[in-house]
């Protein structure tokens, strides 16, 4: 098989990788664009220039040094989006600390596990979010966290250290600070992000300055970001989508991050786009659908929008068309990746067609290699054949934190095995067709759930759909789908099956169709296929077939 026919592709290397730390990048941006907005937090009524963001990061660094934080110490942040999150992050990483990003959706046991496993010495946190008290959890968990020295709260209160007091607590020893900054090399780890896997305990992906700063830079390059761009960012900082694709892409291009609120709300996002004249919007498909469907969209000025990133789930073709036509996002890009690869490996081009944007995840990123291999043999697949997507290059994480066995299983000869099933087209564009563990084998035929899900999303009554396998005496497995219908949709399971006939192969049509109001998810919103499968396994085959809509 020739190289042209094999599923191997390498990114361009004409633009060199950045050889600097995140702290270097912020200092550089502050020098080049001192008065430009770096961060606007609309709901907090804060507007921070690059020069001020740099100074605030120094204040955090001074305070952390006074607390004895050393290079490699872990500093956790448990909060929804707010200005203090990003300031704390910049201050910690510039002196060589490793920031542990904690999902604000985690609850007591989950958050305690992350803080204990990471060995965080300091936690920055909001006192509460959506009625859940982080402060109560942290104060109660302190006895179980022997490495935790201090809790710094972004809000005023009776317990812990308040943010304002923390910022003024550091001794301003500029020579000590500069010595620590100069000792931080871009190869050092700076980010510990816990993956919210659908089974088992989460694993901490350890990422370096080199990993995430370059990845953010090249995501921004593909959007053609400049110092004039303003990114409306409702996706969370705790995830790579917010802190890498958003905040670090902005820093390397002098762009502005605009926070509409602590979390996503379509009306607030629309007002922010109009009032702040945002040029870019980041979100998962659900966010775009909410914006497009909102009654105020027609009267909102979105003329400044041109680009952005969409990821996290397949995008229906109609949603993409409306993102371009209704939201004016003619240069919108689809991005694919995983936390363990910093995260982005593939991204569409601004001039790709809508069809390419919804059927592929785009082209390989610069300085990254990808291959698709047969999961059973490890041999490189031919283009057009499904196999496991593997990634190699600067973006691959250093390791899973305190998990050498997990690291060895995931990274082989420098290649990160993603667990995603993919197909490489002749032009090098890649389609994600499912997960290896989710593949359904029906009578010797492979069914890739994501392929079926993407088709089901084109059906007018279907709002969301997830496909998985259940045991079958005759075929070994059959496909089952849980579907959430659109409002006022009136349809029976057999009618769903009828709409599939002639459109997808008969063996791919789900035998079992169940209508639901919601899906089981992890704390970060990933759908848990195994829980849906377990629910179905609790039913007999006859019950499954006759289950009411």
Distance CA 412, CA 458 (A): 38
Q: What is the Cα–Cα distance from 30 to 279, expressed in whole angstroms?
A: 21
- Is the pLDDT confidence value at 548 over 50? no
Q: Is the pLDDT of residue 95 over 80?
A: yes
pLDDT of residue 198: 46
Is the confidence at residue 540, as pLDDT, over 70? no
Mean pLDDT for the stretch of residues 509-518: 95
59: confidence class by pLDDT, cuts 50, 70, 90: very high
- For the segment 233-237, the average pLDDT, to the nearest whole number, is 96
Residue 131 CB burial class (10 angstroms; 0-12, 13-18, ≥19): exposed
Q: What is the mean pLDDT of residues 486-506?
A: 93
- pLDDT tens digit sequence for 2-50: 567 899 999 999 999 999 999 999 999 999 999 999 999 999 999 999 9
Mean pLDDT in the chain? 93
Once rounded to an integer, what is the mean pLDDT over residues 339-362? 96
CA atoms within a 13 Å half-sphere pointing along the CA-CB vector of 172: 7
Task: Answer for the pair 331, 223: CB distance below 8 angstroms, yes or no.
Answer: yes
**314: pLDDT strictly greater than 80:** no
Q: What is the DSSP string of 280-310?
A: EEEE-HHHHHHHHHSTTGGGS--TT--EEEE
CATH class given for the domain over 22-422: alpha beta
- The region of weakest confidence among 153-162, 379-388, 389-398, 524-533 is 524-533
pLDDT at 438 over 60: yes
| Whether residue 354 has pLDDT greater than 50 | yes
Q: CA triplet 365, 368, 374: central angle to 5 degrees? A: 105
Q: What is the pLDDT of residue 286?
A: 82
* Predicted pLDDT at 189: 98
- Band (200; pLDDT cuts 50, 70, 90): low
- Residue-wise pLDDT for 366-392, tens only, equals 999 999 999 989 999 999 999 999 999
Percent of the chain with pLDDT strictly greater than 90 = 82
Residues, the chain: 549
| The domains spanning 22-422 and 440-546 adopt the same CATH topology | no
Q: Can you tell me the mean pLDDT for 143-172?
A: 95
Alpha carbon separation from 245 to 80, 276, 299, 363, 416 (Å, rounded): 17, 20, 29, 16, 20
Break the chain into its structural domains and give their ranges: 22-422, 440-546
Query: In angstroms, rounded to a whole number, what is the distance separating the alpha carbons of residues 467 and 400?
Result: 29
Peptide bond into 52 cis (omega under 30): no
pLDDT confidence bin for 358, thresholds 50/70/90:
very high
CATH number for domain 440-546, candidates 3.40.1030.10, 3.40.309.10, 3.40.630.30, 3.30.300.30: 3.30.300.30
pTM: 0.87
């Amino acid at each position: 098989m020739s190289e042209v026919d094999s599923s191997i592709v390498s990114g361009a290397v004409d633009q060199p990788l950045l050889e600097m730390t995140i702290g270097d990048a912020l200092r550089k941006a502050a020098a080049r664009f001192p008065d430009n907005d770096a961060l606007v937090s609309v709901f907090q009524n804060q507007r921070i220039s690059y020069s001020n963001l740099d100074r605030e990061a120094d204040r955090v660094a001074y305070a952390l040094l006074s607390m004895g934080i050393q290079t490699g110490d872990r500093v956790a942040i448990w909060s929804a989006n707010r200005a203090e999150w990003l300031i704390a992050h910049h201050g910690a990483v510039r002196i060589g600390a490793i920031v542990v990003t904690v999902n604000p959706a985690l609850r007591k046991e989950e958050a305690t596990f992350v803080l204990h496993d990471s060995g965080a010495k300091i936690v920055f946190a909001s006192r509460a979010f959506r009625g859940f008290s982080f402060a109560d959890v942290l104060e109660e968990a302190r006895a179980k966290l022997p490495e935790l020295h201090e809790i710094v709260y972004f809000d005023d209160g009776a317990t812990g250290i308040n943010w304002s007091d923390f910022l003024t607590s550091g001794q301003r020893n500029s020579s000590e600070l500069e010595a620590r900054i100069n000792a931080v090399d871009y190869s050092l780890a700076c980010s510990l992000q816990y993956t919210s896997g659908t089974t088992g305990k989460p694993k901490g992906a350890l990422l370096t300055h080199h990993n995430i700063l370059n990845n953010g830079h090249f995501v921004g390059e593909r959007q053609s970001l400049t110092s004039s761009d303003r990114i409306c960012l409702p996706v969370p900082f705790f995830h790579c989508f917010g802190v890498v694709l958003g905040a670090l892409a902005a820093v390397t291009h002098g762009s502005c991050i605009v926070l509409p609120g602590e979390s996503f709300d379509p009306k607030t996002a629309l007002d922010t786009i109009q009032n702040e004249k945002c040029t870019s919007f980041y979100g998962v498909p659900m966010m775009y659908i909410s914006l497009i469907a909102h009654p105020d969209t027609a009267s909102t000025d979105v003329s400044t929008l041109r680009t952005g990133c969409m990821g996290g789930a397949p995008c229906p073709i109609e949603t993409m068309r409306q993102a371009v036509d209704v939201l004016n996002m003619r240069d919108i890009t689809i991005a694919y990746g995983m936390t363990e690869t910093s995260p982005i490996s593939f991204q569409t081009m601004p001039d790709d067609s809508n069809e390419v944007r919804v059927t592929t995840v785009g082209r390989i990123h610069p300085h990254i290699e990808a291959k698709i291999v047969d999961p059973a043999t490890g041999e490189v697949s031919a283009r057009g054949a499904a196999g496991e997507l593997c990634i190699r290059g600067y973006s691959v994480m250093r390791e899973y934190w305190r998990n050498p066995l997990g690291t060895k299983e995931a990274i082989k000869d420098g290649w990160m095995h993603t667990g995603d099933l993919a197909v490489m087209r002749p032009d090098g564009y890649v389609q994600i067709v499912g997960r290896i563990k989710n593949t359904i084998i029906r009578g010797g035929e492979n069914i890739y759930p994501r392929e079926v899900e993407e088709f089901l999303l084109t059906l007018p009554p279907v709002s969301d759909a997830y496909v998985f396998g259940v045991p079958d005496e005759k075929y070994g497995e059959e496909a089952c789908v849980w579907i959430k219908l659109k409002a006022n949709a009136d349809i029976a399971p057999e009618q769903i099956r009828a709409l599939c006939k002639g459109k997808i192969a008969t063996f791919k049509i789900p035998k079992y169709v169940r209508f639901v109001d919601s899906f089981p998810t992890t704390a970060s919103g990933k759908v848990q296929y195994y829980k849906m499968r377990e629910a179905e396994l609790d039913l007999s085959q006859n019950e499954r077939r006759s289950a009411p809509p």
